[in-house]
Structure 1
């Protein structure tokens, strides 16, 4: 990554600089190799470079604010967030360079919120004697009388702050609002099933005049992908779902059984789990993202898709080009997020229909 050749340090306020930066970040991920990631000096150099990119855009945003160039400042804050998410993708526990990453993300989010005139609403729902739910509502920047809305579910490993800073730049080119909630953490009593908690959020969205209740989708990452499947199965108000299609639950049950009994072997990377497909099918269009996002294997997703397609159901699969290395997995989140929102737009809006299987 040669700093002089990277498009940072300027913004026109029309979104072109953000698009260029996201394109270059995507190219950066596509060019990574396992051998390069294994070299700590390379990884730390990349982290430092991307932190510098973020700092440059942050400085530009602050300068644009002083000059009352709100559109330039807004785009610069989004560029800063994008660079910080690249840093997060490259970072490992204990990295000194990225120790203050959460604070940096918070500064950029607050800066964007102030410049965009866009209220990132902190929402709290009282579930009577069951406790309370909390989340964030991000209204569509390109307003309609009532906009399609995506409920985005995080989990313990994918924080709301990380999801917000990653999805916000990807979603702004469309007309969708986002409701970000933590599928696991709430004060609601644990006996209350996750899908029942999520139905409270559906009720909340239906009551908002700026939400099109006929176009509400659900998108889950990590364990949230499992919760998203359960909600889509149990509530027909969901118009589209990005989730695990119900595959994760039997995987978790089998892993738990292996742990309790000590019987069975680990499943090799990329192999099918040999599971029977879920007995119930989602009544809405389904997209499965293979890999760490939804914790499902490619072959399992393709097998489930084949069953769906035999009945004429709408089921798509996207297979990211992830790079594995000893410390984990690096995903080209730019390409994956862009595809997910393009797919959602094709189901909730007027975008073109996509191929049933996509390899990124």
Structure 2
């Protein structure tokens, strides 16, 4: 088996991820859900994942735990490609989700050592999360609190990020949007601060190098969290643009004023929340996110003028009748690469240009 055999060679995971990235880059908008080409691709990537699971089981029986873990990470990447291709109402979604869940369960043993942890929250309840320690156990390492999109579980996000996080010497604490989002003012920030408290107390985590990463609506949660808790060292968030856009729409609706506010006033309001952040920020714009490209670029221009450390990332998206498909491989590599850079011991100050990893679309630094 071609794809199973690649796990026996060096660079098995990197090979599968390169193949996945190239496949997603070469998708065309004509490959819509339900077409023969799309179904063939779903079957292909599901089969690749199944083959890698068999390799993982075989290696585990032989006692090769590292190679077994690598094969299972290859499987998670393949299943994620298949999941992206599926229409959300397709019955196959449940089958792929079950495969992903089984893959996570297999990795909850050495050497991955994925932990299911309970975090005491501010309202005396317990918050469940996944914790993935960094590979380096000699020194405390950076850590990132990762918040899933509103319509995805923490297990789904973990399965996608695990292959990308390999060998980055960063620990991950993965939580679901559902568990940390709360309409009560300040409660979401308090819940996320409990997560930060948990990480800060761990001996394998450097408390001075903890970041946050929010996807979709969780990007707005990450912004509020970074503005309220100065302990964070980096944030992948929306830069306050969701709140700004919502507030602007409400004002226009209530006042029935068609005229746009003056540019200076718009600029001041748009960058108001960013001034409260004291850590480097990466705003992921376009695609399935909540931030428009035009507003993000205006915000970046204003941040450059005020010497605020903000970068933009714009993942490559393929448009089809079933929605947009993101090249998650290059996107995740870019985001985790940016976090590793900003959480490094000698991170570049905000006044300097940083060399960001390639996202295969465009990453704009100040």
TM-score by length of 2: 0.86
Written as runs of structure 1 = structure 2, the 5 A alignment for 1:101-116 is: 101-114=96-109, 116=110
Alignment of 1:102-251 (within 5 A): 102-114=97-109, 116-127=110-121, 129-185=123-179, 190=184, 193-251=187-245
Distance 2:357 2:297 in 1: 10
Q: Note the alpha carbon deviations across 1:193-216, whole angstroms, 9 max, x for none.
A: 211211111111111111101100
Looking at structure 1, the residues matched to 135 and 357 of structure 2 have their Cα atoms a distance apart, in angstroms, of 29
Report what 2:271 is aligned to. 278
What are structure 2's unaligned runs of at least 5 residues? 259-265, 349-353
**In the comparison of the two structures, how many residue pairs are matched?**
345
Q: Structure 1's 203 and 351: CA in aligned 2 closer, same or farther, altered over 3 A?
A: closer
Question: For 1:1-360, what aligned pairs fall within 5 Å after superposition?
Answer: 7-12=3-8, 14=10, 16-37=11-32, 40-114=35-109, 116-127=110-121, 129-185=123-179, 190=184, 193-254=187-248, 276-280=269-273, 281=275, 282-349=277-344, 353-355=354-356, 359-360=361-362
3-state SS of paired residue (2:233):
strand
Q: Pick closer, same or farther for the CA change 1:40–1:63 going to 2, 3 Å.
A: same
SS at match of 2:235: strand
Q: Shift of residue 120 of structure 1?
A: 1.8
* C-alpha distance in 1 between matches for 2:347 and 2:20: 24
* Inter-CA distance 191–297: structure 2 relative to 1 (3 Å threshold): closer
What's the CA shift string for 1:38-88, capped at 9, x where partnerless?
A: 662211111111000001101111111121121211110000000010011
Aligned partners of 2:39, 2:332: CA distance in 1, in Å?
Answer: 25
Question: Is the partner of 1:136 in helix, strand or coil?
Answer: strand
Deviation of the 1:252 alpha carbon: 3.4
- Alpha-carbon distance in 1 for matches of 2:249, 2:126: 32
In structure 2, relative to structure 1, the CA distance for the partners of 1:326 and 1:302 (3 Å cut) is same
- CA gap 1:13/1:125 in 2 versus in 1, 3 angstroms: farther
CA distance in 2, matches of 1:238, 1:308: 19
SS in 1 for 2:87: coil
- CA offset at residue 132 of structure 1? 2.9
For 1:101 and 1:252, locate their aligned partners in 2 and report how far apart those are by CA, in whole Å: 35
Shift of 1:277: 1.3
Q: Tell me how far apart the structure 2 counterparts of residues 84 and 356 of structure 1 sit (CA, whole Å).
A: 24
SS in 2 for 1:148: strand
- Report the aligned-residue RMSD: 2.8
TM-score using structure 1 length: 0.87
